[in-house]
Amino acid sequence: MDLQPAATSPQAPTDLKGFYKLSRLTRIGFGAGDLAQNLIYQTVATYLLFFYTNVFGISPGAAAFMFLVVRVIDVLWDPFVGAFVDKRNPRLGKYRAYLIIGGIPLSGLAILSFWNGFSGQLWYAYVTYVTLSLCYTLVNVPYGALNASLTRDTDEITKLTSTRMFMANLGGLAVQFGVPATIQHFAPNHDWSQPAAAPVWFAVMSVYAVVGFGLLIYCFTQTRERVVMDSAKVDAVKYSDLFTEFVRNRPLRVLAFFFITAFAMMAVGNSASAYYMQYNIGNAQALPVFNALSSIPAFIFMPLVPAIKRAIGKKRMFYVFLTIAIVGMAMLYVTSTVPALKSQLWLVYLAQFVKSTGVIVATGYMWALVPEVISFGEWKTGKRISGVVNALTGIFFKAGFALGGVIPGVVLSLTHFDAHSAQQSVAAQQGILWLVVVIPAILLGVAMYIISNYELEDDTIDRINREIEARHSAG
């Protein structure tokens, strides 16, 4: 890939206006948006399959097919939303306005998705889940574009991403620990896996959705778009820009495929964790702690990301932490298959902590690369189509989520998982273990190969951004 400009450009000044410094309050405010979306959508992504099969009363096969249908609809919807938000300038803000516009129906539909009023009715699951997913896109795509509109400064983007992922994992901790712990505590006989627990599921989701919407409002109040497309070029944005940008922007293609593998890995493992602790380890009450360990490493390592990146570079940082994640999964596999070790719950926790350390840093920092590929596209074409680019990355991370919904349902169906049986067959237990460890480890290996092809080093993207701002100043 040729990263050199077509013609010699003047030396870019060092005080260009696009390189804004962000206050701590702005970083926290922006991070609140991801905290909100984790409270709402991570709850859906992690527990909806379990709720459908064990509480609502849908077969794993039917649920898997529904998850696939929803993602196919997303593929058509996401680019439309991306082009739509790039072409408009709402009074409340080009991108942040949609935190409110989309946040209201998103919160309501998340609550309705966990309502058991139409128990076992597949049509109700389709209606609520499809519309929920459409509303999530209406929030998530503009939120992602908001990231790239705050500043061009790569150091500031790194700090912003570190803060964002710290807060996202606060949401993850609330979801991974808080949801099962609360439902198990209030459910009849402390059994969250039976239809009798449905009112508790509904109540917990209601609280999470309302708090999430409040955080979206806070994000709206603390952020402001300052690096956006020239208004004279807005009318030139088209639905087809998604496809042309994908073809001509190689760093975007690399990042897109990294997204699909990373999110597939996370979604598969997260969807299966409830089954794993209940049927493989035989200790459903330990699920809150097990899940909490998938978020706790963020509070240790995400604040260190800027320093780690400066010390070893971002690509080596990916290699190191993806390797740590694979090592943790290997530990989890050995611990789960050796009877003498499986009874030692602390070993299960240790393996989960190691795995999560690698996953959190690698998948957290990938969001800092999105503004880079947006700037690269702007450098090549003159159009800063943040909404379109985030729609494209959205398609791929939702494709990963689709795999996270489809693969577990298919594996559980093929291994004859029985939601009404307290003891699963050896085949079903092995299938669950593959979902928690083996398939995610394979996907991590693929992700490591993909990210090795990413070519926008920090000095390159800084030069590109300064040249863009120099063009604006000269124009």
pLDDT of 385 > 90? The answer is no
How far apart are the C-alpha atoms of 281 and 74, rounded to whole Å? 35
CB 443 within 8 A of CB 265: yes
Strand, coil or helix: 179: helix
Nearest Cα to 473, choosing from 13, 3, 1, 143? 13
Tell me how far apart the alpha carbons of residues 41 and 85 are, in angstroms, rounded to a whole number.
21
Per-residue confidence (pLDDT) for residue 134, from 0 to 100? 94
Q: Tokens 């490591």 correspond to what residue?
A: 448
* Cα torsion 428, 430, 436, 440: sign: negative
- Residue 15: its pLDDT value, please? 42
**What are the structural domains, with CATH classification, of the chain?**
24-227+237-474 (1.20.1250.20)
> 3-state class of 182 per DSSP?
helix
Task: Say whether 383 sits in a helix, a strand or coil.
Answer: coil
Report residue 86 as tokens. 């790039």
The band of 340, judged by pLDDT with boundaries at 50, 70 and 90, is confident
The chain-wide mean pLDDT, for the chain, equals 87
Identify the DSSP state of 279: I
Tens digit of each residue's pLDDT (9 = 90 or more) over 130-181: 999 999 999 998 998 898 889 888 888 888 988 998 999 899 889 988 999 9
With a cut of 50, say whether residue 13 has pLDDT above it: no
229-286, pLDDT tens digit by residue?
666 556 566 667 767 888 888 999 999 899 889 988 988 888 788 889 988 888 888 8
> Mean of the pLDDT values across residues 401-426?
82
Structure tokens that stand for 205 in this block = 């989701």
Average pLDDT over residues 387-400: 78
CA atoms of 93 and 132, how far apart (whole Å) = 23
How high is the pLDDT of residue 237?
64
Average pLDDT over residues 86-109: 91
Q: Are 130 and 70 in contact (CB under 8 A)?
A: yes
CA atoms within 13 A on the CB side of 17: 7
* Minimum mean pLDDT range among 85-89, 154-158, 164-168, 345-349: 85-89
Residues 6+ apart with CB under 8 A from 297: 353, 356, 357, 360, 361
